[in-house]
Amino acid sequence: MQINELNQKRGIKLHIVTGGAGFIGSGFVYQLNLMGIDDILIVDNLGCTDKWKNLVNLKYRDYIHKNEFLPRLEKGQFNNIESIVHMGACSSTTELDADYLMTNNLQYSKALVRYCVSRNARFINASSAATYGDGSLGFADDHEQLPKLRPLNMYGYSKQLFDLWLQRKGFLESTVGIKFFNVYGPNEYHKGNMQSVARKAFFQVRETGRVKLFKSYHPDYGHGEQKRDFVYLKDCLKVMAWFLEKKEINGIFNMGRGQARSWNDLTRSVFSAMSLKPEIEYIEMPQELRGKYQYYTRAPMDKLEKAGCPVKFHSLEDGVQDYVQNYLMQEDPYLSAC
């Protein structure tokens, strides 16, 4: 029986998660499972990657390739859609194919929004802190600030263009866009060079006993003292679940811890979770990254707090400890809701 026929017969409310085999996407499927929801359609492109491993412990109704999904959606082959949680995108900050990013991150997203708005389905989208550029204009998730932002890379620009399109169309009043800062946590092993430094550091320590961090080329920051807003995946998932239920709350929101912590802090937390003494080596940053490097990010979280979100976030130390000891050091490092 096709998924659409099953929905009609049972009156099922279907939740669609694009990028559902990826880092945050598979994490949100896990969160839905914890909420007793398994009528989930996962949209992704597994290819020759190991992302499928993220799905093994999760409960969901079906999987469909991203290239097949949109044409079927636009033909009306899915009914009773409760939500589309759009985590599917090219998230590489070093991707140079601008046309690919425009198609994948912008046009695909537009089509999903049009569908959801026309049918009163919940739409939650992954924006990015990369839209803030070098941070000279601040990191406020204020809608009036959106047109002023200047991203440093094409990935950030593709996300910025979509945010601006939502604003022009008036869709920010009925959708949620989440600007993720530096997320770390389970299910990110497949991300290659885009894995969090927390995960990279763990395996560097296990293999060599030390961690390599980039040197600083800014007079205001010492080596390893470049700062980021690190946020634990589990906290992000709880906030996303809250947005799913609070349909009256919409707009662009930051997703961070609200604190700027250094790479040194993060690395020391990894060593501490492994009960080891810190050993850090500072190396040269590749020349092509130096002009595009963010030395400081911090997510003002006032807007989310004022909206009434009750989620209590892990500290950096507590989040890293949970990640290292309960996932990275275990044989099965994946989120499991079964």
Catalytic residue selected from 30, 115, 155, 327 = 155
17: enclosing H helix or E strand: strand 14-18
Q: Is the pLDDT of residue 2 over 70?
A: no
DSSP 301: -
Q: Is the pLDDT of residue 14 over 50?
A: yes
**pLDDT confidence bin for 251, thresholds 50/70/90:** very high
**Cα 53 from Cα 49, distance rounded (Å):** 9
pTM (2 d.p.): 0.93
Catalytic residue selected from 191, 238, 292, 303 = 191
**Cα 142 from Cα 167, distance rounded (Å):** 12
Q: Is the pLDDT of residue 308 over 50?
A: yes
Residues 36-72 have pLDDT tens digits of 999 999 999 998 888 999 999 999 999 999 999 999 9
161: enclosing H helix or E strand: helix 154-169
| Amino acid at residue number 249 | I
Q: Is the pLDDT of residue 11 over 70?
A: no
Residues 213-248 have pLDDT tens digits of 999 999 999 999 999 999 999 999 999 999 999 999
Range in 126-130, 250-254, 270-274, 287-291 with the lowest mean pLDDT: 287-291
Task: Say whether 191 is catalytic.
Answer: yes
Range 93-102 average pLDDT: 78
Higher pLDDT, 91 or 174: 174
Q: Distance of CA 237 to CAs 179, 242, 332, Å?
A: 13, 9, 20
Strands 14-18 and 40-44: parallel
Q: Is the pLDDT of residue 9 over 50?
A: no
Q: Distance of CA 252 to CAs 240, 288, 301, 326, Å?
A: 13, 31, 12, 32
Q: Is the pLDDT of residue 10 over 80?
A: no
Range 146-152 average pLDDT: 93
Range 20-31 average pLDDT: 97
What are the phi and psi torsion angles at 228 (to 5°)?
A: -135, 160
Q: Is the pLDDT of residue 178 over 80?
A: yes
Q: Is the pLDDT of residue 313 over 70?
A: yes
Provide the 10 A C-beta neighbour count for residue 30: 24
Higher pLDDT, 95 or 36: 36
Output the pLDDT for position 3: 53
Question: Are 66 and 44 contacting, i.e. CB atoms less than 8 angstroms apart?
Answer: yes
DSSP calls for 9-37: HHT--EEEEETTTSHHHHHHHHHHHHTT-
Output the average pLDDT for the chain: 93
The structural architecture, per CATH, of the domain 3-185+230-256+297-311 is: 3-Layer(aba) Sandwich (3.40)
